Amino acid sequence: MANHLERTLWAGGATAPEAVVEGLPYVEVVDTRGDFATSSRIEAHRLASPYVRDGRTADGRKGSEVINERLGLDSDRPRAPREFAAGLMATDPMCLVHGIFFSVKDFPGQPKVPRVITAAVEAHDVRAAHSGGVKKDSVQTSVATGGTGEGRGMVPFDRTEYVAREMVCYASIDLDQIQSYGLDDACTELLADLARLELRRLLDGSMRLRTACDLRPTDERIEARDGPPLPSTAELEADVRAGIAACTEAFDGGSKLTVTYDVDQHRNSKKAKPAKEG
């Protein structure tokens, strides 16, 4: 579900975030031609991605060097998220929503931040649904032995899928963790609104979790265990835009850091073998 949530704020098929989060910092990775390669918003490890940390800024610095400087990572002393939350806010605030683990030695102390938002879909009273069909051949209906292995002939098949009486999406947004970052009120509220907006967009959009599984929630059953009900998409988008405008100072002078990753250079460095002594 984390992947589905994260995609709600990235323009599908595009190379940039959705317009609603324009101005929110992140790291873009380009290749040596300047073409978009990836970003900290869509990489599984976010800022800790190898393409981010090994990429080079315009002045030749490694991405990991810039990140360490912004987060104040200069020793192996363990650090709580509160100590480097401001640095993440200035580099990619979504790392404070979806968590991050700087697990490699490039980042002193290998700090991490747990997820703020989590979700799961549970199916109740699951039953098998059996069906089948035929792979058709418009040229010949029967072929010699082995032909079907090459894609020829008419091939009947059976299929088993599953249905459920009820499917429930459970989601949690840890507001206490957001408060623990020690950011100012505007940034704290912005992080909470970003998490809420992801959840609302997921529920309002297509929950196509996999092939033949395209879900749509029953609105009257959306409930909040604690606090007020989840606001509408329009309300949350307005809150996020206002929050980004209010947090400009925390973004430290820019909405995007671009680094260049040289695929060929890294490929060749792995192939190179050390010379033998003697």
For residue 207, pLDDT over 90 is answered with no
**Mean pLDDT for the stretch of residues 251-265:** 87
pLDDT tens, residue by residue, 104-132: 999 999 999 999 999 999 999 999 999 99
pLDDT tens, residue by residue, 33-49: 999 999 999 999 999 99
CB of 221 within 8 A of CB of 254?
A: no
As a whole number, the mean pLDDT across the chain is 89
Q: What is the pLDDT of residue 10?
A: 93
CB of 24 within 8 A of CB of 255?
A: yes
Share above pLDDT 70 across residues of the chain, in percent, rounded to a whole number: 91
CA dihedral of residues 169, 175, 180, 186 (deg, nearest 10): 130
How big is the chain, counted in residues? 278
278 band by pLDDT with thresholds 50, 70 and 90: very low
Share above pLDDT 90 across residues of the chain, in percent, rounded to a whole number: 65
Q: What is the pLDDT of residue 156?
A: 86
CB of 186 within 8 A of CB of 243?
A: yes
pTM of the model: 0.85
Domain boundaries, the chain: 2-116+174-271, 123-163
For residue 271, pLDDT over 80 is answered with no
CB of 207 within 8 A of CB of 215?
A: yes
Residue type, 110: Q
Q: What is the pLDDT of residue 232?
A: 92
